[in-house]
Structure 1
Amino acid sequence: MRKIFGLFGVLMFFAVACSSERDTFTNRAFHNLTAHFNAYYLADQKIKDVETQVRTNYKEDYTQVLPVFVPIDSATIQQNKAKLDSARDMASKAIEWHKISKWKDDSYYLLGKIDYLQAQQDDALNAFKYVNSTSKDNDLRHQTLISLLRLYIDKGEIENANFTIDYLSKESGISDENRYELYRTLAYYYEVRDDANGIIGALDRALEYGEDKKEKSRINFILAQLYQREGLDALAYDYYKRALDGNPPYERSFFATLYAQQVAELNASKDLRKVRNYYEDLYKDPKNKDLKDVVVYEQALFEEKQGDIPLTLDLLHQAAKEPGTNPRIKGYIYQKLAEIHIEEFKDYRATKYYLDSALTFIKADDPAASVIQERKITLDNYVFHQERIQLNDSLIILAEKTPEEQEAIALAYIKSEEERLVREAREKEQPKNSNIFNNLLAFSGRDAGSSFYFDNGVAMQQGAIEFNRNWGSRPLQDNWRRRSAIFQTSAQPEEIKASEDSLANQENPILAGLPTKESLLAQIPTTPEIKEQINLELEESYFELGKLLYFEFNEPLLSIENLETLIRNYPNSNKKPEAYYLLFLGQRDTGGNSQQYVSRLNREFPDSQYTFSVNNPNAASGNVAYLAASKDYEEAYNAYYSGQYSRASQIIRSTLEQYPLTRTTEKLLLLDIMVIGKTQSKDRFKERLEGYIENTKDESLVALAKQMLRPLLSAEELAALAPKEEEEADSTATPAENLTPENLKIPENSPYKINDAQTHIFVISMSPEESEKAKNLLGDLENFHGQNFKNSRLRTGNMNMSTEEAIFIISPFSNSEAAYEYYKKFSSDFKSEGLPDEVKAKAFFISIENFQILNKTKNVEEYLLFFRSLYQ
Structure 2
Amino acid sequence: MRFLNRVLFLFLLLLAACSSERDTFTNRAFHNLTSHYNAYYLADVKIEEVLDENRADYKEDYTQILPVFIPIDSGVIQANQEKLESSRELASKAIEWHRISKWVDDSYFLLGKIDYLQADFDDAKNTLKYVNVESKDRDLRHQALIGLLRIYVDLGEIENANFTIDYLSKEQKISEDNRFELYKTLAYYYEKRNDQNGVIGALDRAVEYSKNKKEASRIYFILAQRYQREGLDNLAYDFYKKTLEGNPPYERAFFAQLFAQQVAELNASKDLRKVRNYYEALYKDPKNKDLKDVVVYERALFEEKQGDLPLTVDLLHQAAKEPGSNPRLKGYIYQKLADIYLEEYSDYRATKYYLDSALTFIKETDPVAAQIADQKEVLDQYVFHVERIQSNDSLVRLSGLSEEEQRLIAEQFIKKEEERLLAEAREKEQPKSTSIFDNLLAFSDRGSGSTFYFDNAVAMQQGAIDFRRVWGNRPLQDNWRRSAAVFQTNSPTSPESQPDSLSSSEENPLSQLPDIESLLAQIPQSEEEIATLNEELEESYFELGKLLYFDLEEDEASIDNLEILVREYPTSSRKPEAYYLLYLAQKDRGGNFQQYVSRLNREFPESQYTFSVNNPDAASGNLAYLASSKNYEQAYDMYYAGQYRQARQLIQRTLEEYPLTRNTERLLLLDIMVTGKIESKDRFRGRLEAYIENSQDEQLVELARNMLKPLLSAEELAALNPVDSTALDSANQVLAEADSTAIKPDLSDSPFKLNENQTHIMVLVMNPEEAEQFQGVIGDLENFHAKNFSNARLRTGNMNMNRENAIFIISPFNNAEKAKEYYQKFMEDFESPNITDKIKGNAFFISIENFQTLNRTKNIEEYRAFFKVAY
The TM-score, its normalising length taken from structure 2, stands at 0.65
| Partner residue in 1 for 2:792 | none
Q: Please show how residues 514-593 of structure 1 align to structure 2 within 5 Å.
A: 514=512, 515-593=514-592
Matches within 5 A, 1:573-722: 573-618=572-617, 620-621=618-619, 627-628=624-625
Name 1:421's counterpart in structure 2.
Answer: 421
Matches within 5 A, 1:140-159: 140-159=140-159
Structure 1 position 196 matched with structure 2 position 199? no
> Partner of 2:214: helix, strand, or coil?
helix
Q: Residue in 1 aligned with 2:90?
A: 90
Give how far 1:422 is off.
4.2
Distance 1:599 1:389, change over 3 A: same
Corresponding position of 2:303 = 303
Query: Are 1:380 and 2:380 counterparts?
Result: yes
Residue 185 of structure 1 pairs with residue 177 of structure 2? no
Amino acid at match of 2:511: G
Deviation at 1:367, TM superposition (A): 1.3
Secondary structure, in 3 states, of the residue corresponding to 2:435? Answer: coil
**Which secondary structure state, in structure 2, belongs to the residue aligned with residue 246 of structure 1?**
coil
Q: CA RMSD in A?
A: 3.0
Q: CA shift at 1:217, angstroms?
A: 0.4
565 and 240 in structure 1: CA distance in 2 versus 1, 3 angstrom threshold: same
Equivalents in 2 of 1:550, 1:373: separation in Å? 21
C-alpha distance 332-166 of structure 1, shift in aligned 2 (>3 A): same
Structure 2 residue 56 is matched with structure 1 residue 56: yes
Amino acid at match of 1:557: E
Q: What is the distance in 1 between the residues matched to 2:51 and 2:380? A: 43
Equivalent residue for 2:492, pick from 484, 500, 503? 500
Say if 1:451 and 1:329 are closer, same or farther in 2 by CA, change over 3 A.
farther
Q: Which amino acid aligns with 1:129?
A: K
Q: Which residue of 1 aligns with 2:314?
A: 314
Residues 1:303 and 1:110: Cα distance change in structure 2 (over 3 Å)? same
CA distance in 2, matches of 1:432, 1:135: 71
Q: What is the alpha-carbon distance in structure 2 between the residues aligned to residue 322 and residue 533 of structure 1? A: 45
C-alpha distance after superposition, 1:817-850 (max 9, x if no partner):
xxxxxxxxxxxxxxxxxxxxxxxxxxxxxxxxxx
Relative to structure 1, is the Cα distance of residues 100 and 280 closer, same or farther in structure 2, using a 3 angstrom cutoff? same
User: Aligned AA for 1:364?
Assistant: E
Match of 2:211, SS?
coil
Structure 1 CA distance, aligned partners of 2:388 and 2:657?
31
Tell me the distance in 1 between the aligned counterparts of 2:151 and 2:260: 35
Hey, what's the Cα distance between the residues in 2 that align with 1:358 and 1:217? 31
SS state at 1:571 partner: coil
Larger Rg belongs to: 2
Separation in structure 2 between the aligned mates of residue 447 and residue 200 of structure 1, nearest angstrom: 53
Q: Is the 8 A contact 1:625 1:662 kept in 2?
A: no
Is residue 385–residue 540 contact of structure 2 (8 Å, CA) maintained in 1?
yes
Show the counterpart of 2:796. none
Asked if 1:403 corresponds to 2:403, the answer is: yes
Q: Which one-letter code corresponds to 1:289 in the other structure?
A: K
- The Cα of 1:625 is off from its aligned counterpart by 11
Mind listing any 5+ residue stretches in structure 1 that lack a counterpart? 457-496, 633-657, 666-872
Provide Cα deviations, 1:402-422, integer angstroms capped at 9, x if missing partner.
223323333332343234234
1:426, 1:107 → 2: CA distance? 71
Checking the alignment, whether the CA contact within 8 Å between 2:608 and 2:660 is kept in structure 1 is no
2:511 to 504, 513, 527: 513
- Counterpart in 1 of 2:392? 392
Deviations 1:793-821 (A, max 9, x none): xxxxxxxxxxxxxxxxxxxxxxxxxxxxx
User: Which piece of structure 1 moves more, 149-158 or 242-251?
Assistant: 149-158
Task: Rate the CA distance shift 1:219–1:358 in 2: closer, same or farther, 3 A.
Answer: same
- Following superposition, the deviation at residue 191 of structure 1 comes to 0.9
Listed one character per residue, the Cα deviations across residues 662-709 of structure 1 (whole Å, up to 9, x for unaligned) are: 6999xxxxxxxxxxxxxxxxxxxxxxxxxxxxxxxxxxxxxxxxxxxx
Partner of 2:290, secondary structure, is: coil
Task: Quickly say closer, same or farther: Cα 1:300–1:27, change in 2 above 3 A.
Answer: same
Amino acid of the structure 2 residue aligned with 1:595: Q
Write the distance in 1 (CA, Å) between the matches of 2:576 and 2:171.
Answer: 75
Question: Kindly tell me: are residues 283 and 200 of structure 1, through their superposed partners in 2, closer, same or farther at Cα, counting changes over 3 Å?
Answer: same
CA distance in 1, matches of 2:496, 2:181: 67
Shift of 1:551: 1.9
- 1:339-488 map, 5 Å: 339-441=339-441
| Higher relative contact order (Cα pairs below 8 Å, separated by 6+ residues) | 1
Deviations 1:76-110 (A, max 9, x none): 11111111111111111111111111111111111
Q: Contact (CA 8 Å) 2:62, 2:252: kept in 1 or not?
A: yes
CA contact (8 A) 2:608 2:659 kept: no
- Maintained 8 Å contact 1:321/1:442: no
How far apart are the structure 2 equivalents of 1:591 and 1:114? 67
Could you tell me which residue of structure 2 aligns to residue 105 of structure 1?
105
CA distance in 2: counterparts of 1:405 and 1:502, whole angstroms: 34
Q: What is the distance in 1 between the residues matched to 2:602 and 2:306? A: 56
**Closer, same or farther in 2 for the Cα pair 1:631/1:4, shift >3 Å?**
farther
Q: TM-score, normalised by structure 1?
A: 0.65
Note the alpha carbon deviations across 1:382-428, whole angstroms, 9 max, x for none.
11111110000011111122223323333332343234234424533
Cα distance, 1:4 vs. partner? 2.5
Structure 2 CA distance for aligned equivalents of residues 356 and 42 of structure 1: 48
Contact persistence 1:217–1:246 (CA under 8 A): yes
Instruction: Note if contact 1:388-1:538 (Cα within 8 Å) is conserved in structure 2.
Output: yes
Structure 1: how far apart are the matches of 2:272 and 2:145? 54
C-alpha separation between the residues in 1 aligned to 2:291 and 2:604?
A: 64
- Relative distance call for 1:366 and 1:561 in structure 2 (3 A) is same
Give 1:451 deviation, angstroms.
12
Show the counterpart of 1:281. Answer: 281
Conserved 8 A contact 2:303-2:309: yes
Deviation sequence 1:313-354 (CA, Å, 0-9, x none) = 111111111111112211111111111111111111111111
How far off is 1:572 after superposition?
1.5
Given the superposition, is the C-alpha separation of residues 625 and 601 from structure 1 closer, same or farther in structure 2, using an over 3 Å criterion? farther
- Structure 1, residues 179-200: CA drift from partner, whole Å, max 9, x if none? 1111111111111111111111
What is the match of residue 290 of structure 1? 290
Contact 1:581 1:597 in 2 (8 A): yes
Structure 2: how far apart are the matches of 1:245 and 1:432? 39
Aligned to 1:774: none
SS in 1 for 2:511: coil
How many residues matched? Answer: 596
Cα–Cα, structure 1 residues 27 and 443, in superposed 2: closer, same or farther, change >3 Å?
A: farther
Matches within 5 A, 1:758-773: none
Question: Contact (CA 8 Å) 1:421, 1:510: kept in 2 or not?
Answer: no
